[in-house]
A and B are shown apart, each in its own frame.
Chain A
């Protein structure tokens, strides 16, 4: 069990800065997710923590020890990769027990620990099978088992569910989180899938172009995104942006969009001649017949418990999550009203959210 601390960590590959001055602390026992699109630096960050990559500058502390230049094998960290590399000629038991055998752990202890891990992962019935015939999910469970059998200080997981199909991936998310709740080992998990991040994380670090945009709990990230990148990366569908130009005073509690006044959480900073965007989550859009921001319905998607309507407006495309019983037709003209206390205003040039009452109580700035 360990706390992991990153201090001004930076990684350059030639001219390219893969990770830019990252500083954050992952608490002992935390399930910490690094989330972002490909090329954002999340895997590089993970590999530096693991010791597979040396930083260009900065420090990594594992439980207070400076491990920045220690070899991977000296860090006592377990790994799980996307491609479960199992030894095809060994059965499940030998695969899971392999890391212990390498450490010359006595045979009886290996058996005990493998049995315990197999029970934890609910693969006891497969223990004597060859790994070649296993399903994708079971193979990944064996790979997980091989990582956790070592009882390492921390676990690094790089898209471990990426190769599984969507429905099964969701089941494995639930399983992985339940497993974490049982063993409580510090886990750093890399993914580009926001659904996985939201489902499993204690905290999420959203990365973009080598920079950590925001670190917070899943709900705080969702409710109070600090940048347009975070807002647009999280949520399904993600946050809508309605573009407009305006000068706004600190203390303003409304904006004008196409002649319509829209109440927003009171702003705590102003902007002069800003290229701005109003950020609205789909579930905070209400479709009305009269008034509101006008637009044309482009399509609706029935989801059972609710539906998603896509509306084309002058300010951009807006997706609204509305009750499935509400009747909406293609090409119909509709008005949109927004839940005022949940709106954010972004500066589209810097991508940053303007400070406002929305962020009170949550970390911001």
Chain B
């Protein structure tokens, strides 16, 4: 495991700045997740660390060594892509063993066998080692691809949406397993996703990207509870934070300069009232709870309610906010007394 430092890195593609003066440290043994929508610059940063792109400015150091201009092969990184790219003519065993058989590495077969078996157990594919790589389900193929990355002990593992091609259930299982494997190995990992659940549940720290700029870095708790601006606030939370103009809801102790309010479901209290300004327009079942969609003075709100609550479309309510977030006209979070 090694520390990776991205220092004031800029990368342009024509007129587009895919990375703008980005500085980020991935400490040894940590799993840092880069989160942002398509086009935010997540994959570009990953590719810069891998050496698949060269920065226009700035420096990248791996384990204290300047790697900015090193070709990928010299950087000692492992890359897992969204699309599992296995060797179709090889067995699962040989796919896993492949990185160790590179002529430069000279690992003997007994050692290879030991490591393949250990990794196969880790990614739970040990019962299919003799299978041809093409005779696996999508989930199994992706586990082999992750296993092939884990077979080496590089300075850093780079993962580009490794779970996004899998179905929901398998994604949920692999999320927990991958986090566990990373912690067990003490591996350094830089992980790119647009899935907030993956970011929240796996990351030691999350970096939020907005059109090439790294807006905030923090633990999932910090990002969720103390976002620096409305953009960051909207990246995490299910249902998403309700962003409303400041005069949309009656609020107490509004800080100076507040232009909008950000109300997460835990900030919203609904009080049933026939003359209330808000109207329930839809109840969306999740099973464990409901998403309640409300309409109020032309604004929409979504909040969580218990499944046994009596809210139905057409019912009216008053809304009371408890310690919501406030943003200024530029979207920056305002400090409040609490």
User: CB within 8 Å of B: which residues of A?
Assistant: 165-166, 173-174, 177-178, 181, 192-193, 195, 198-199, 218-219, 222-223, 234-238, 281-283, 298-299, 301-305, 308, 310, 321, 330
Which of B28-36, B174-182, B328-336 participates in binding chain A? B174-182
CB under 8 Å from chain A, chain B span 265-288:
265-266, 281-282, 284-288
Interface assignment of B304: CB less than 8 Å from any CB of chain A: yes
A301 touches B285 (CB 8 A): no
Is B284 touching A199 in the complex (CB atoms < 8 A)? yes
**23 cross-chain CB contacts under 8 A:** A174-B282, A178-B282, A181-B313, A195-B286, A198-B287, A199-B284, A218-B287, A219-B285, A222-B285, A222-B287, A234-B287, A283-B288, A299-B176, A299-B179, A301-B175, A301-B202, A302-B200, A302-B221, A303-B201, A304-B224, A304-B264, A305-B237, A308-B201
The interface of chain B, by Cβ under 8 A from chain A, is 167-169, 172, 175-176, 179-180, 183, 194-195, 197, 200-202, 220-221, 224, 236-238, 264-266, 281-282, 284-288, 291, 293, 304, 307, 313
- Given A298-B176, A302-B220, A305-B304, are A281 and B288 also a contact pair (CB < 8 Å)? yes
Picked from B167, B168, B195, B200, the residue with its CB within 8 Å of the CB of A304 is: B200
The distance in angstroms between the C-alpha atoms of A296 and B266, with both chains bound, is 30
Considering the chains assembled together, what is the distance between the CA atoms of A215 and B302 in angstroms?
28
Q: Which residues of B contact A308 (CB under 8 A)?
A: 201
- Known contacts A198-B284, A218-B285; 10 additional CB pairs below 8 A are A166-B195, A181-B313, A198-B285, A199-B284, A219-B307, A236-B172, A299-B176, A302-B200, A302-B220, A303-B238
Given A198-B287, A218-B285, A301-B201 contact (CB < 8 Å): yes
Complexed CA–CA distance, A100 and B293 (Å): 35
Contacts of A298 in B (CB 8 A): 176, 180
Q: Which of B168, B194, B293 contacts A193 (CB 8 A)?
A: B168
Q: Which residue of B lies closest to A282 (CB)?
A: B288
**A238-B169 in contact given A299-B176, A303-B238 (Cβ < 8 Å):** yes
Assembly CA distance A39 to B265 (angstroms): 38
Q: Take A219-B307, A298-B176, A301-B201 as given contacts and tell me if A330 and B183 are in contact as well, using a CB distance cutoff of 8 Å.
A: yes
Known: A301-B200, A304-B224. A219 touches B287 (CB 8 A): yes
Residue of B nearest to A324 (CB): B221
* Closest-CB distance, B269 to chain A (whole angstroms): 14
Contacts of B201 in A (CB 8 A): 301-303, 308
Closest B residue by C-beta to A303: B200
User: Which of chain A's residues have a CB closer than 8 A to the CB of B224?
Assistant: 302, 304
Inter-subunit contact B236/A310 (CB<8 Å) = no
Report Cα–Cα, A283/B308, bound state, in Å.
Answer: 14
Residues of B within 8 A of A174 (CB): 282, 284, 293
Residue of A nearest to B202 (CB): A301
For B293, the chain A residues whose CB sits under 8 A away are: 174
Residues of B within 8 A of A195 (CB): 168, 286
B266 touches A305 (CB 8 A): yes
How far, in Å, is B238 (CB) from chain A's closest CB? 7
Q: How far is the CA of A302 from the CA of B205 in the complex (A)?
A: 12
B45 to chain A, nearest CB (A): 21
User: Which residues of A lie under 8 Å from residue B175 when comparing CB positions?
Assistant: 301
Q: Name the residue of chain B whose CB is nearest to the CB of A305.
A: B266
B-chain residues with CB within 8 Å of residue A238 when the two chains form the complex? 169
Q: Which residues of A contact B287 (CB under 8 A)?
A: 198, 218-219, 222-223, 234-236, 281
Per CB-CB distance, the 4 closest pairs between chain A and chain B, nearest first, are A301-B201, A222-B287, A218-B285, A198-B285
Contacts of A219 in B (CB 8 A): 285, 287, 307
Q: Is the CB of A304 within 8 A of B237?
A: yes
Q: Provide the residues of chain A in CB contact with B291, threshold 8 Å.
A: 199
List A contacts of B281 (CB < 8 A): 178
B176 pairs with A222, CB closer than 8 A? no
* B199 CB, nearest partner CB in chain A, Å: 10
A177 to B304, CA, bound (A): 18
B285, A321: Cβ atoms closer than 8 Å:
no
- Which partner residue on chain B sits nearest A222 by CB separation? B287
Q: Which residue of A lies closest to B201 (CB)?
A: A301
Min CB gap A59→B, angstroms: 32
Give A312 Cβ to nearest chain B Cβ, in Å: 11
Kindly state the separation between the CA atoms of A308 and B201 in the bound complex, as whole angstroms.
9
B96 smallest CB distance to A (angstroms): 24
Per the bound structure, the CA–CA distance linking A171 and B169 in Å amounts to 21
- B180→A236 contact, CB < 8 A: no
Determine the residue in chain A with the shortest Cβ distance to B266.
Answer: A305
Docked CA distance A173–B169 (Å)? 19
Question: Which residue of chain A has its CB nearest to the CB of B194?
Answer: A165
Min CB gap A90→B, angstroms: 28
Nearest Cβ on chain A to B89's Cβ, whole angstroms: 27
Which residues of chain A have C-beta atoms less than 8 A from B169's C-beta?
238
B307:A222 contact, CB within 8 angstroms = yes
Cβ-defined partner of A235 (8 Å) among B197, B236, B266, B288 = B288
Task: Report the separation of the CA atoms of residues A258 and B176 in the bound assembly, to the nearest whole angstrom.
Answer: 27
| Docked CA distance A222–B183 (Å) | 34
* CB-defined contacts of B264 to chain A, threshold 8 Å: 304-305
Contact B179 A304 (CB under 8 A): no
B292 to chain A, nearest CB (A): 12
Q: Which of B194, B238, B286 has the most CB of A within 10 A?
A: B286
| B299 smallest CB distance to A (angstroms) | 15
Nearest residue, chain B, Cβ from A218: B285
Q: Which residues of A contact B304 (CB under 8 A)?
A: 305
B220 touches A199 (CB 8 A): no
Among B167, B172, B180, the most chain A Cβ lie within 10 Å of the Cβ of B172
Which residues of the partner chain B approach A198 to less than 8 Å between Cβ atoms?
284-287
CB contacts (< 8 Å) of A310 on chain B: these are 176
| Chain B, residue nearest A301 (CB) | B201
B residues within 8 A CB of A173?
Answer: 284
Instruction: Tell me, in angstroms, the Cα distance from A326 to B195 when the chains sit together.
Output: 24
